[in-house]
Structure 1
Amino acid sequence: MDKQARVTPDRLTFLDSLRGLAAIYVVLYHILAMPAPPLHAGPILGPIVSLGGSGVALFFVISAFSLCYTMPRHQNSGLPLVSFYTHRVFRIAPLFFVLLAFSLWRDGRGANAGHGIGETAANLTFTFNLFDGWQEGIVWASWAVGVEMLFYAVFPLFFASIRNAFSALVLCVASTALALAVQHGLTGELQERLIGPFGLLRHLPVFALGILSYHLYGPLQHLAERGKALAALAFVGASAIAGACLALALRSGFVGSMETWIAMGAIYAMLLLALAMAPWRVLVNRATRYLGTISYSVYLGHPIVVAALIPVFRRVEEAIGSASVSYLACAALTLAATLPLAGVSFRFVEKPGIRLGKRFVDRLRSTRGTPLAVAPSDP
């Protein structure tokens, strides 16, 4: 076990690694799913890669956990809500707006219809998830960003009201029960907006699992090293059993897409706690931490790369023949293009935006005479 891999002064490095792994899992899924007809990955890789879209559920679990972890520092800043919302906006908006500008240009060329003022305004204000027909966002794969921003809007209320693991568990149960009730049509015409693929209520139970993970993390940190190792093995074992049960349920048709999504959130929450207790080097290392650092750029940028490479994918399929080998070759090509581009966008778009947000909050605190504290950073 690498003790230094667990916590640095401002960051929980296992979260960085999980972000990186989640981003790569989503990329691998879109390499398979974006082409029409989809690629084939063979009988072994296919079932694994086909679940890669659930990497977004892992992002949501990590997001809720990390927001809980950094919120006390926002509260100690003297301007808690200003600090929280400013850091969130400057973390998300710069890269999103750059890609939004590109997407507006891409979709408005020649005979393409483009996007109207209303839809563009909804994307600029991150409210597009609330409008029928616009929920997917103009930027490819940005539906998850819209869901995240809606969760950010209400998160301070959750943080103020959920003070321990029991209340977090109540939130998990209540949000799951409410989501299931809505799924069965109790809200009439609002059902699709609330519980559809891009509705916040569909994803609230997964965020709640991240909050629960945070409240379990604190007490577990008091265990001795041997106890942490045993707890990690227990979480891995429980997640494996849950995964096997989910696979059987899916095969039998006993669960729907929403139940599957929540179950995947629970599995990922257990894996998060396992790595929190025992950050094994095979998963938590310099490479995966770097992937986590650039994961937002990887997530938002990779669909453009995949779309551009689809003609190459077809040639690779024809040349190689083997589904598994050709898929792996396509994945290698995609990552070889995506990761350097993500590194560039992180350095020249994301980092300046993060610094600008911190300077804005520091200047505001200085203007109001609030003592400067250590600026919060994402763990």
Structure 2
Amino acid sequence: MGHETSTPSRMVELDALRGIAAVAVLGYHFTTRYQEQIGHVGGMALDLRVGKYGVYLFFLISGFVIFMTLERTRTAMDFVVSRFSRLFPGYWAAVLLTAAVVYAAGLSMQQLPLGSLLLNFTMVQEILGAEHLDGSYWTLQVELFFYVQMLFWFMVGQLRRIHWIIGGWLLLATVEGLCEKHHWHFSYWVRELLILRFIPFFALGILFYRMHRHPGEWRLNLAMVLLALLAIAVGERPVFLPVALACCVIFALFIRGGLGFLDTRLFVFLGGISYALYLVHQAIGFVVIHQLEQRGVPALLACVVAATVSLALAVGLNRGVERPLMARMREGWRRRGMRLETT
């Protein structure tokens, strides 16, 4: 579809950002979040609270990549198969692995009732009223609802009017945020299904893709970026504006070719396993940290061991489940499409 502007090396940079974001979230969970929820034996001097904002960088990346993907997609089912094969095989394997560890050696607070555990296989357990088996899973429902919205606009042929769609998102997000701040009523279902608390971050990713892909409309896209930042400033807690600004700086560097230094073996490796690492690190990592600290291992060393275990599990999940099943499902769909075209 038109002239290709994104090179493979540029996508490596995006994958590297995913890897960095996943490691940042892991650092936050193992230090600060564990301390808040369970408590490190002897306390934890290291506070990596800033790492939790790595998920918002994920949201920008998704906005960029999903819009790019849909511009190159022929049919809705092509997109559905692409996203399903990317998300669910690895996720289901991670749920099974996490459940096995948590119920064998985890804390009682980690062990969900069977009904809640089964709902975790849907990826939308939160809106169904169930707890997450792994605390990191909350972002997956957000991502899934974003994909559904984008698929809807693709199916009705309105992605060419994306700036109007983003304008509507930002208006609704601002109204929802003001209602939250002033304790006014706002529909729970509209807020959750349209992911209004997070949609400005996805919008920023889309707008940076438009800047990258269509340099001639940079003024419009820059104006929309400023509107997205305004929506975040008005509708969200104060901390989210600097988070959004930091994400914008990173993406401005990216589209101008300023992140080439991320194209290294380490970052390529982390990018490749970033989804698997995100899926398996928190609940299993907490089990490892707890078991080690109960045996007298210092908190920081327990965190390092948990991170090493998480990386090893992520590599196994990525190479043993995620990549092969994704390739098999996509190849099966491609062959089915070829058979239909020849009949």
TM-score by length of 1: 0.70
What amino acid is the match of 2:24?
A: Y
The equivalent position to 1:299 in structure 2, one of 244, 267, 278, is: 278
Given that 2:67 and 2:209 are in contact with CA atoms closer than 8 Å, whether structure 1 keeps it comes out as yes
Task: Output aligned runs, 1:321-340, within 5 Å.
Answer: 327=300, 329=301, 331-340=303-312
What is residue 7 of structure 1 aligned with on the other side?
Answer: 7
Which residue in 2 is equivalent to 1:211? 206
Once residues 170 and 126 of structure 1 are traced to their aligned partners in structure 2, the CA distance between those partners, rounded to angstroms, is: 28
- Any unmatched runs of 5+ in structure 2? 1-5, 219-224
The count of corresponding residues between Structure 1 and Structure 2 is 316
CA distances 1:330-379 after superposition (whole Å, capped 9, x unpaired): 554333322222112100010112112212321221232179xxxxxxxx
Separation of aligned partners in 2, 1:345 and 1:74: 28
Where does residue 69 of structure 2 map in the other structure? 70
Q: For 2:171 and 2:151, locate their aligned partners in 1 and report how far apart those are by CA, in whole Å.
A: 18
How many Å apart are 1:297 and its aligned residue?
0.8
Q: Distance in 2 between matches of 1:312 and 1:276?
A: 44
Partner residue, 1:174: 171
Relative distance call for 1:17 and 1:308 in structure 2 (3 A) is same
Distance 1:221 1:28, change over 3 A: farther
User: CA separation in 2, counterparts of 1:158 and 1:55?
Assistant: 27
Between 277-286 and 52-61, report the one with greater CA deviation.
277-286
Q: CA deviation at 1:281?
A: 4.5
Deviation at 1:150, TM superposition (A): 1.8
Q: Secondary structure at the match of 1:130?
A: coil
CA distance in 2, matches of 1:158, 1:129: 25
The aligned residue for residue 79 of structure 2 is: 84
Q: Which amino acid aligns with 2:39?
A: P
RMSD: 3.7
In the alignment, which of 338, 341, 348 is matched to residue 313 of structure 2? Answer: 341
1:206 is displaced (CA, Å) by 1.6
C-alpha deviations, 1:21-48, integer Å up to 9, x for none?
1001001101112242255345xxx3xx
Superposition pairs of residues 13-32 of structure 1, within 5 angstroms: 13-32=12-31
Structure 1 gap ranges (5+): 1-5, 224-237, 247-253, 318-325, 372-379
Aligned partner letter, 2:335: R
Q: CA deviation at 1:261?
A: 3.8
- Larger RCO (CA within 8 A; separation ≥ 6): 1
TM-score, normalised to structure 2's length?
A: 0.77
Q: Distance in 1 between matches of 2:98 and 2:236?
A: 29
Note closer, same or farther for the CA distance 1:164–1:13 as it changes in structure 2 (3 Å cut): farther
Give the structure 2 partner of residue 130 of structure 1: 127
CA displacement 1:103-152 (0-9 Å, x = unmatched): 444566799774344x45533333313123x2x42344211112211221
The 10-residue stretch of structure 1 (268-277 or 304-313) with the greater mean CA deviation from structure 2: 304-313
Take 1:26 and 1:55, find their aligned partners in 2: how far apart are those partners?
Answer: 6
Question: Secondary structure, in 3 states, of the residue corresponding to 1:278?
Answer: coil
Report the CA distance between 1:52 and its aligned residue. Answer: 0.9
Which position in structure 2 is the counterpart of 1:361? 333
Deviation of residue 306 (structure 1)?
A: 3.8
Query: Against the structure 1 CA distance between its residues 204 and 88, is the aligned structure 2 distance closer, same or farther, given a 3 Å change threshold?
Result: same
Q: Give me the whole-angstrom Cα distance separating, in 2, the residues matched to 1:109 and 1:313.
A: 17
2:39 aligned counterpart, secondary structure: coil
Name the structure 2 match of 1:61: 60
